[in-house]
Amino acid sequence: MTAATLTARLRRTRQARRAAAPGARHLRPGWLAYTVLIAATAVFAFPFYWTVVAATQPNTAINAVPPALLPGGRLTGNIKEVLAETDLGKALLNSLIVAGSVTVGTVLCSTLAGFAFAKLRFRGRHALLALTIGTMMIPPQLGVIPLFIVIAKLHWVNQLQSVILPTLVSAFGVFFMRQYLLQALPDELVEAGRVDGASLLRIFLRIVLPVARPGMAVLGMLTFMAAWNDFFWPVIALTGDNPTVQVALNALGNGYVHDQSVILTGALLGTLPVLLVFTLLGRQIVSGIVQGSVKG
Amino acid sequence: MRTARTRRTGIVALGCTVLTATALLSGCGSSSGGSSANGGGKITLTIDLFGTFGYKEAGLYAEYEKLHPNIVIKETDTENEADYWQALQTHLAADSGLGDIQGVEVGRIATVVRQEASDFTDLNTLGASSVTRNFLPWKIKVATTPSGAVLGLGTDIGPEAICYRSDLLKQAGLPTDRAALAQKWSTWTGYVGLGKQYQAHAPAHSAWTDSATGLFTAMTGQQAVRYYDQSGKPVYGSNPLVKSAWDTSVEAARAGITAKLTQWSPQWNQAFSTGAFATLPCPAWMTGYIKGQAGAAGKGRWDIAPGPGATGNWGGSYLAIPKTSPHQKQAYDLIAWLTAKDQQVTLFEKEGNFPSNTQAIGAVQNYTDPYFNNAPVGQIFGDSAKNMPVQVLGVHDGDVNTALTNALSEVEQKGVSPQQAWQNAMNNIANAVAQ
Amino acid sequence: MTQTATPPRFTVGPQRRGAGHVRRRGRWDVKYSPYAFVAPFFVLFAAFGLFPLIYTAYISLYRVELTDPGQRVWAGLGNYAGLLHDPFFWNALRNTFTIGAISTIPQLLMALGLAHLLNYRLRGRTFFRVAMMMPYATSVAAATLVFAQLFGRDYGLINWALGLVGVHRIDWQNGTWASQVGISTIVTWRWTGYNALIYLAGMQSIPAELYESAAIDGASRWQQFRHVTIRGLRPTIIFTVIVSTIGATQLFGEPLLYEGGTRGPSGGVSHQYQTLGLYLYDQGWSFFHLGRAAAVAWVMFLIIVVLVTLNTGIARLRSCDERALGRKGRALR
């Protein structure tokens, strides 16, 4: 009976939300909105477009005045050079493992802790929250040396966990999910769960997770991108022949001549998989954001 | 139903902790990076470099592995030397993550010799005493500690000359013949003077030289004592040679014969093909840079002549072995081979890196470069190398040089007064070296 | 309907609830489960966050060089005192504030506007949302090159365009204001879409009823935006303001790469755009003064604490709702 009540309440909420979805967006956008968005898209995407141009041109065409603005025909040549200089396949696989684990771990840990900080009352939560926000304030550059000492003591140098685990400490994620749930999760829902005698874990799984999903999707995207593009720490922690994409790209275009078209070809090959994933899965992830709540 | 749900909640609840714990456990048992002997009795040597060596590109590793079937070579390369150096310092501080072989740039070698000698192997203990005489004396000397330990073997050096665009010089009515030019710019004053002549008749948007900072670096590269004296005392503020290089560079900047570019910036790269400057002080490796930036269109337009003073050094590197390497002997054999005559000759002809090995210098004596109008680069750079002084390198050479060249850029690009800029440089150096 | 039955929830005070609702077997659960929820984060933090923090504090009291970390000379508060007398430190502090101000404020306002537009029923909304992520996905190498070329003094696109309207060539690298505006442009470019997505996620959770009732009350679209959207987004806005403040104080990557990386951490020939993050890096990695760099890190830390406290303090003053969130309001017993 209790479970039934709970489910019913939840279903009603979802229905309300789904009905609500067009509500906030009941007005169709005018041409002005499209103009602004298209302009913003052009500005945001231009460096990426230019990466494509550079990757299909020889180095000298990029340095010409004015530089080449349309794609050329040198893509395969540049790709060959990239593959000759780095083991991009392994790097891509490593990056996938690293960014994937970091994303899953961060989103899970952050949602758990964010829920606790947003909606639960326990001794010391103010202090712990302050500590969490405090960790965001530590300038990351200096932590590198002590962190590396920890990694070396654990014999993790050049192993993927040396990049994964420290990156999982995401105060940002915890804070983000807390603020999100503070706003998105009605107290009454949690209260209802309590009244029905559900354990906190069950409330978390049955009530919090569905509501948290849009926030988790955004956090997941941002985390994945950040982990994929992380550079400063992996270059130090990973040596030898176990690179992530960014570490591999760091070795590209070497020599006194920094061959920018080869570097940018590497950058393109390194970014393309991420963009593909987000464009293909984007519909799901993004529609998660749109609907307010995905089918649980 | 009930049990299934419980189990699932348990799994998710513990998910994070388990994830953490597994990773912690799996990590503890495994070995760290670096070299290792694998199953087939083969020894893997790791060689950790930054973007200038060209061994892999020239096929030298493959050749060595063929000669030594029990060796496998793994190279890690970092494009940017500053990133590389930072990682190396972190690894040294933690005594972990080092390769069997580490590259060291000449600007950093004094730091290694003065402050990190205990981290690197004295190569004499591995047999280097029999090969050190093959190198230019100064090259080995600056890598030797006061107690006589040799911490690195020399790879390339950067003997200086002047690269110039003969087409632009011709347009301005100047001679384009190497010997005539070398004679006219046999001193830096002559170089600046000829620059003023060029500027008076130059094509539009074309300056005599790229930057005041390149000029300054080339000039100080010719001085035996520049920023520090033999005893290690800083003399950058009082050395008249440094001051005269500064004054000459300031003169060039204020006469408007520089293109006001920042070396290594994207604008500088562009300028190689636009003709924004007609000449530049040119260490041997710069020839490779010009080819890469100016491309096929620049072939035949560029030429090389001996520069003012016909000598000087700018850049070059070393290979060193950290004490943490478990394969000291094998690592030494590899660096001895890589820095031996034949390999250095290959690297010069393929990559433009000029040899530091005297036998190799002799062997490339007659090499000419078709890109640079068949200039006798082997001879020009060889002569420049022959006259090179033994330069005293200090621990903070790099910081001093950055401060002085930044100050020159202030004069050149912002119009700051030379007195003010000099003072700024001194303040910056004090800030950098302050304990 | 739970939501329509109650007044808008962000103005709701403490909910009626009592111990009677909590069953006995739930006591243990309520008391200790929250700790289990936050434990994974804090376990990781203890391992990889706390030690670096303490180590940094310890190091900041010594004179120690990166090239020889074993050799430590006690300096007490000497490193901190040294900072106060260092004009380069004050310069970096000033730059950090000016760049922070010119980058953060327009960035958040634009993000809010974009999020609002993205919240419409758009054609091709997936496309636009992926586009918001582009700056974040673009590799640093590519972004650096593009901006270095855009802001080029001689051949740059921006100066060329300014020339068309008769504005004299601007030296985006050497001018103090020009370079700071240039860097702020990169910061704004990189983080606007990011913040827009965060706002968008927040907007999705604002119930439609609020808009409907506001519309019935005769609120214009602008009033709806102000009174419904902005108020509903309050926790998210506070979040982005705090995160942006922290980010601005730690600003590092964009100025480091501004001139194609050629200036390193010096922040321009006259340090005209050297931020505290670059100053720290300069001290630690160019000069190897580890102790001093650690002191800079702690000073930055303190500055951020003050700024964040001010931010939240202001937010709290302005919002009775926030007080409710703070202590008892939403907490579950």
Q: What is the pLDDT of residues C107-148, one digit of tens each?
A: 999 999 999 898 887 888 778 888 888 888 887 767 877 888
Q: What are the tens digits of pLDDT across the range B295-305? A: 888 898 999 99
Give the range of the structural domain holding residue B394, as residue numbers without chain letter.
Answer: 158-313+372-433
Q: How confident is the model at residue C89 (pLDDT cuts 50, 70, 90)?
A: very high
**Does B184 reside within a domain?**
yes
In chain C, what percentage of residues exceed pLDDT 90?
24
C152: which chain B residues are within 8 Å (Cβ-Cβ)?
Answer: 266-267, 270
DSSP B167-211: HHHHHTT----HHHHHHHTSSHHHHHHHHHHHHHHPPTT-EEES-
Do residue B104 and residue B217 come from a single domain?
no
Q: What are the tens digits of pLDDT across the range C152-194? A: 888 788 888 888 888 888 999 999 999 999 999 999 999 999 8
Rounded Cα–Cα distance for residues A188 and C3 (Å): 9
Q: 3-class DSSP state for residue C107?
A: helix
Q: What are the tens digits of pLDDT across the range B305-359? A: 999 988 899 999 999 999 999 999 999 999 999 999 999 999 998 888 999 999 9
User: Does the pLDDT value for residue A230 go beyond 70?
Assistant: yes
**Does B106 reside within a domain?**
yes
Rounded Cα–Cα distance for residues C203 and C207 (Å): 9
pLDDT of residue B1: 33
For residue C192, what is the domain's CATH number? 1.10.3720.10
Do residue B240 and residue B331 come from a single domain?
no
Q: What are the tens digits of pLDDT across the range B45-97? A: 999 998 778 888 888 999 999 999 999 998 888 777 877 888 898 888 878 88
How does DSSP classify residue C122? Answer: -
| Residue A144, min C-alpha distance to chain B (Å) | 8
Range of B419-433, C13-27, C225-239 with top mean pLDDT = B419-433
Half-sphere exposure of A209 (CA within 13 A, CB side): 15
Do residue B80 and residue B136 come from a single domain?
yes
What would the mean pLDDT of C64-75 be, rounded to a whole number?
Answer: 82
pLDDT of residue A287: 54
How many residues are recorded in chain B?
435
B264 touches chain C (CB under 8 A): yes
Q: How confident is the model at residue A9 (pLDDT cuts 50, 70, 90)?
A: low
SS3 content of chain A, % helix, strand, coil (to 5): 75, 0, 25
Q: CA angle, corner B69, sides to B67 and B74, nearest 5? A: 95
User: Does the pLDDT value for residue C20 go beyond 70?
Assistant: no
| Residue A188, min C-alpha distance to chain C (Å) | 7
Question: CB-CB: which of C41, C67, C262 is closest to B264?
Answer: C262
- CA A69 to chain CA mean position, Å: 30
Half-sphere exposure of A68 (CA within 13 A, CB side): 21
C263: which chain B residues are within 8 Å (Cβ-Cβ)?
Answer: 262, 406
Q: What are the tens digits of pLDDT across the range A157-175? A: 888 888 898 888 888 899 9
**Residue in B199, B175, B176, B120 with CA at minimum distance from that of residue B153:** B120
Mutation choice for B interface testing from A202, A254, A264 by most B CBs within 10 A: A254
Output the CATH code of domain A2-27+88-291: 1.10.3720.10
Rounded Cα–Cα distance for residues C216 and B282 (Å): 77
Question: CB-CB: which of B16, B265, B399 is closest to C259?
Answer: B265
Give the range of the structural domain holding residue C235, as residue numbers without chain letter.
Answer: 77-326
B266/C173 touch (CB, cutoff 8 Å), yes or no:
no
Rounded Cα–Cα distance for residues B343 and A85 (Å): 20
Please count the other Cβ atoms lying within 10 Å of the Cβ belonging to residue C12. 16
Average pLDDT, chain A: 79
Do residue B176 and residue B261 come from a single domain?
yes
Q: A6-15, A172-181, C83-92, C274-283: lowest mean pLDDT where? A: A6-15
Do residue B142 and residue B54 come from a single domain?
yes
B406/C269 touch (CB, cutoff 8 Å), yes or no:
yes
A67: Cβ–Cβ under 8 A, 6 or more apart, which residues? Answer: A61, B270, C149
pLDDT of residue A8: 54
| Chains touching A by CB (3 or more pairs below 8 Å) | B, C
CB pairs under 8 A between A and B: 168
pLDDT of residue A292: 43
User: Does the pLDDT value for residue B434 go beyond 70?
Assistant: yes
pLDDT of residue B251: 96
Closest residue, chain B, to A169 (C-alpha):
B20
Q: CA angle, corner B9, sides to B4 and B15, nearest 5? A: 125
Mutation choice for B interface testing from C37, C38, C62, C269 by most B CBs within 10 A: C269
For residue B355, what is the domain's CATH number? 3.40.190.10
**Does B31 reside within a domain?**
no
B425: which chain C residues are within 8 Å (Cβ-Cβ)?
Answer: none
Rounded Cα–Cα distance for residues A86 and C136 (Å): 24
Count of the separate structural domains present in chain B: 2
C134/A16 touch (CB, cutoff 8 Å), yes or no:
no
How does DSSP classify residue B268? Answer: H
Q: Which long-range contacts (CB under 8 A, 24 or more apart) does A226-231 make?
A: A226/C136, A227/A98, A227/A99, A227/A102, A227/A103, A227/A167, A228/A95, A228/A99, A228/A274, A228/C137, A229/C136, A229/C137, A229/C139, A229/C140, A230/A163, A230/A167, A231/C140
Q: What are the tens digits of pLDDT across the range C216-260? A: 888 888 888 888 888 888 888 988 998 898 889 988 888 887 887
B52/A159 touch (CB, cutoff 8 Å), yes or no:
no
B51/A259 touch (CB, cutoff 8 Å), yes or no:
no
**Does B24 reside within a domain?**
no
Do residue B324 and residue B402 come from a single domain?
no
Domain residue spans of chain A: 2-27+88-291
A251/B78 touch (CB, cutoff 8 Å), yes or no:
yes
C149: which chain B residues are within 8 Å (Cβ-Cβ)?
Answer: 266
Do residue B77 and residue B203 come from a single domain?
no
C155/B264 touch (CB, cutoff 8 Å), yes or no:
no
Q: Which amino acid is at B228?
A: Y
What would the mean pLDDT of B203-225 be, rounded to a whole number?
Answer: 94
A105: which chain B residues are within 8 Å (Cβ-Cβ)?
Answer: 16, 19-20
CA–CA distances in Å: residue B145 to residues B115, B132, C325: 10, 14, 66
Do residue B358 and residue B376 come from a single domain?
no
Do residue B163 and residue B152 come from a single domain?
no
pLDDT of residue A240: 54
Q: 3-class DSSP state for residue C227?
A: helix
User: Does the pLDDT value for residue A151 go beyond 50?
Assistant: yes
**Residue in B262, B275, B269 with CA at minimum distance from that of residue B293:** B269
Range of A130-144, A260-274, B373-387, C260-274 with top mean pLDDT = B373-387
**Does B386 reside within a domain?**
yes
**A12 and C1 Cβ atoms separated by less than 8 Å:** yes
User: Does the pLDDT value for residue A255 go beyond 80?
Assistant: no
Helix axes C290-317, C234-249, angle to 10 degrees: 160
**Does C40 reside within a domain?**
no
C238/A36 touch (CB, cutoff 8 Å), yes or no:
no
A41/C127 touch (CB, cutoff 8 Å), yes or no:
yes
**Residue in B230, C78, B77, B142 with CA at minimum distance from that of residue A258:** B77
A250 touches chain C (CB under 8 A): no
pLDDT of residue C317: 62
Residue A217 has which token pair? 């999707």
Do residue B183 and residue B295 come from a single domain?
yes
| Residue B78, min C-alpha distance to chain A (Å) | 5
A125/C34 touch (CB, cutoff 8 Å), yes or no:
yes
Average pLDDT, chain C: 81
| Chains touching C by CB (3 or more pairs below 8 Å) | A, B
Q: How confident is the model at residue A65 (pLDDT cuts 50, 70, 90)?
A: low
Rounded Cα–Cα distance for residues B317 and B347 (Å): 13
**Does C285 reside within a domain?**
yes
**Residue in A251, A243, A177 with CA at minimum distance from that of residue A211:** A177
User: Does the pLDDT value for residue B193 go beyond 90?
Assistant: yes
Mutation choice for A interface testing from C204, C240, C306 by most A CBs within 10 A: C204
**Does C269 reside within a domain?**
yes
Rounded Cα–Cα distance for residues C49 and B227 (Å): 41
pLDDT of residue B419: 96
Question: CB-CB: which of A58, A63, A250 is closest to B83?
Answer: A250
Question: CB-CB: which of A136, A187, A218 is closest to C201?
Answer: A218
pLDDT of residue B228: 92
C136: which chain A residues are within 8 Å (Cβ-Cβ)?
Answer: 222, 225-226, 229
Residue A289 has which token pair? 């954001």
**Does C184 reside within a domain?**
yes
CA–CA distances in Å: residue A285 to residues A132, A221, A296, B38, B254: 27, 9, 14, 45, 59
In chain B, what percentage of residues exceed pLDDT 90?
65
**Does B307 reside within a domain?**
yes
Question: CB-CB: which of A19, A51, A65 is closest to C138?
Answer: A51
What would the mean pLDDT of B205-216 be, rounded to a whole number?
Answer: 95
Count of the separate structural domains present in chain C: 1
B27: which chain A residues are within 8 Å (Cβ-Cβ)?
Answer: 154-156, 159, 161-162
Output phi, psi for A62, to 5 deg.
-70, -35
Predicted ipTM? 0.79
Residue with the bigger pLDDT between B241 and C11: it is: B241
B96/A152 touch (CB, cutoff 8 Å), yes or no:
yes
Rounded Cα–Cα distance for residues B194 and B201 (Å): 11
**B181 and B162 Cβ atoms separated by less than 8 Å:** yes
In chain B, what percentage of residues exceed pLDDT 70?
91
pLDDT of residue A144: 77
CB pairs under 8 A between B and C: 89
Range of B23-27, B292-296, C162-166 with top mean pLDDT = C162-166
C155/B409 touch (CB, cutoff 8 Å), yes or no:
no
| Residue A256, min C-alpha distance to chain B (Å) | 6
Q: How confident is the model at residue A286 (pLDDT cuts 50, 70, 90)?
A: low
**Alpha helices, H only, B202-259:** 212-220, 240-254
In chain C, what percentage of residues exceed pLDDT 70?
86
pLDDT of residue B207: 96
Mutation choice for B interface testing from C270, C279, C290 by most B CBs within 10 A: C270
| Chains touching B by CB (3 or more pairs below 8 Å) | A, C
C78 touches chain B (CB under 8 A): no
B94/A144 touch (CB, cutoff 8 Å), yes or no:
no
C294: which chain A residues are within 8 Å (Cβ-Cβ)?
Answer: 142
What would the mean pLDDT of A202-214 be, rounded to a whole number?
Answer: 88
Question: CB-CB: which of A144, A164, A252 is closest to B90?
Answer: A144
How many residues are recorded in chain A?
296
| Residue A7, min C-alpha distance to chain C (Å) | 13
